[in-house]
Structure 1
């Protein structure tokens, strides 16, 4: 995670936005007042974090995930070939 001073961030906003989106890494924007420091991340990463929080906070979904993980760990699963679907149908 890279850190940059606010004044430098402001002067090079476009390049930092591009960097955050391309590298999928967060950027810390510092300020003299530590309470004004912010973290910049891509919308894709933000959306992913929000979805993860929704899943983790949904007890029903988490129970299903835990049960599936346990079944997999115990070898209690079946494999099968994928079905090929033609786009012409």
Structure 2
């Protein structure tokens, strides 16, 4: 993870925003006072991280995931062809 000073970050804000979004790599912005340092990340990465934390903090969901993984390892699954179409009835919910 790259680190950049606050003043450099401020002067090159557009460049660093683009970099963070393109590389999906968080950026540490440092300050004179270490307690004021921040991490900048893309919104997509943030959303993904918070969703992962939500799932991992839910015991019921984690149990379902573990059960699904075990079923897959044991070959207890069926393959289905994907339905492609633009009709509302073709959408799987």
- Shorter-chain TM-score category? 0.7 to 0.9
Segments of structure 2 that go 5 or more residues without pairing to the other structure are none
Q: Tell me if 1:39 matches 2:46.
A: no
Deviations 1:21-76 (A, max 9, x none): 11111001111211111110011111111111111111111111110000111111
Segments of structure 1 that go 5 or more residues without pairing to the other structure are none
- Which residue does 1:22 correspond to in 2? 22
Q: TM-score, normalised by structure 2?
A: 0.84
Q: TM-score, normalised by structure 1?
A: 0.87
Shift >2 Å, 4+ stretches: 80-89
Aligned length: 89
The residue matched to 2:55 in structure 1 has which SS?
Answer: helix
**Cα distance in 2 between the residues matched to 1:79 and 1:60:** 25
- Which residue does 1:66 correspond to in 2? 66
